[in-house]
Amino acid sequence: MSRRVLPGLPLTLGITLLYVSIIVLLPLGALVFKAASLGFYDYWRIVSSPRAVASYRVTVLAALAATAFNLVFGFALAWVLVRYRFPGRRLLDAIVDLPFALPTAVAGIALTALFAPNGWFGMLLAPLGISVAYTITGIMVAMCFTSLPFIVRSVQPVLEDLDTALEEAAQTLGARDGTIFRQVMLPLLTPALLAGVSLAFARSLGEFGAIIFIAGNQPFETEITSLLVFIRLEEFDYPAAAAIASVMLIIAIVMLAVINILQARSLRYMARAR
């Protein structure tokens, strides 16, 4: 066997498994254990309570909308950053990471100030009858803000590697621009887009800090699941908090599984090439 740069496999495997167990699996296990302590009837009563169901609806809908928006906008942003050279490109590239770096609560307060009826954006939108702050739209805006980098950073490197000769080849074969985009570029970018979508959606589902400032947090209206879990914790109702959190866990796992399957399908040509 050839010499490896990093130390032996058994050691690294052991350390990483231990790490994953302590940092990831243990808390999740505790969550499931706590939720299971309720018994099926109580568990069902808590997770299917109208307030909880309303919070799932708000969270998932807003996350879907934010992810769809970022899919288009993030892709466009990645496209611009990769394919065009313009003054300030480096700066724009750096700004994309800002939502990662900024404490989410700061982002939430800033967005609230902007979109409040007397804020800069809110003032312009109010005459049009659009209110963003303290509505589900506000939740969506906050989710868009915090999850934007995921799509951009997933697509950017793949787009950079995409050989422009492929587009030129399709052109010489007589294809129109729309056809080239749909049949040549999109299939090659799909795995990266899906990876970005799954990360952005997961981040939106779990977002807390940025949202609670802009959402208004009216139960049944603008209360996200993370907040409901937090409220239950404040009330020392740990089993209920765990039960509601477990629903989010299930949604996240299902979503990741679906996206993994889609990704595997879109990478079929690479699997068969091996």
Cα radius of gyration (the chain): 22
CA distances to 173, 204, 263 from 257, rounded to whole Å, are: 38, 17, 10
* Binding flag, residue 183, another protein (CB under 8 A): yes
* Binding flag, residue 163, another protein (CB under 8 A): yes
- Return d(Cα 193, Cα 158) in angstroms, integer: 9
Residue 159 Cβ, how far from another protein at the closest point, in Å?
15
Residue 241 Cβ, how far from another protein at the closest point, in Å?
46
Which one of 9-17, 28-36, 127-135, 164-172 is the stretch in contact with another protein (CB under 8 A)?
164-172
CA distances to 187, 238, 270 from 101, rounded to whole Å, are: 32, 31, 35
- Return d(Cα 111, Cα 125) in angstroms, integer: 14
Residue 163 Cβ, how far from another protein at the closest point, in Å?
6
Query: Looking up tokens 């799954």, which residue turns up?
Result: 198
Residue 272 Cβ, how far from another protein at the closest point, in Å?
6
- Return d(Cα 125, Cα 162) in angstroms, integer: 40
Q: At what angle do helices 238-266 and 40-47 cross, to 10 degrees?
A: 70
Query: Looking up tokens 């609560």, which residue turns up?
Result: 105
Q: Tokens for 168?
A: 């030129």
Residue 70 Cβ, how far from another protein at the closest point, in Å?
24
* Binding flag, residue 269, another protein (CB under 8 A): yes
Interface with another protein: number of residues (CB under 8 A): 21
Q: Tokens for 9?
A: 């496999």
Task: Using CB under 8 A, pick the residue from 188, 249, 259, 262 that binds another protein.
Answer: 188
Task: Using CB under 8 A, pick the residue from 97, 160, 161, 168 that binds another protein.
Answer: 168
Burial class (CB in 10 A: 0-12, 13-18, 19+), 155: buried
Nearer to another protein (CB atom), residue 64 or residue 188: 188
- Return d(Cα 238, Cα 259) in angstroms, integer: 31
Nearer to another protein (CB atom), residue 64 or residue 267: 267
* Binding flag, residue 95, another protein (CB under 8 A): no
Nearer to another protein (CB atom), residue 148 or residue 189: 189
* Binding flag, residue 36, another protein (CB under 8 A): no
* Interface with another protein (CB under 8 A): 163, 165-166, 168-176, 179, 183-184, 187-188, 269-270, 272-273
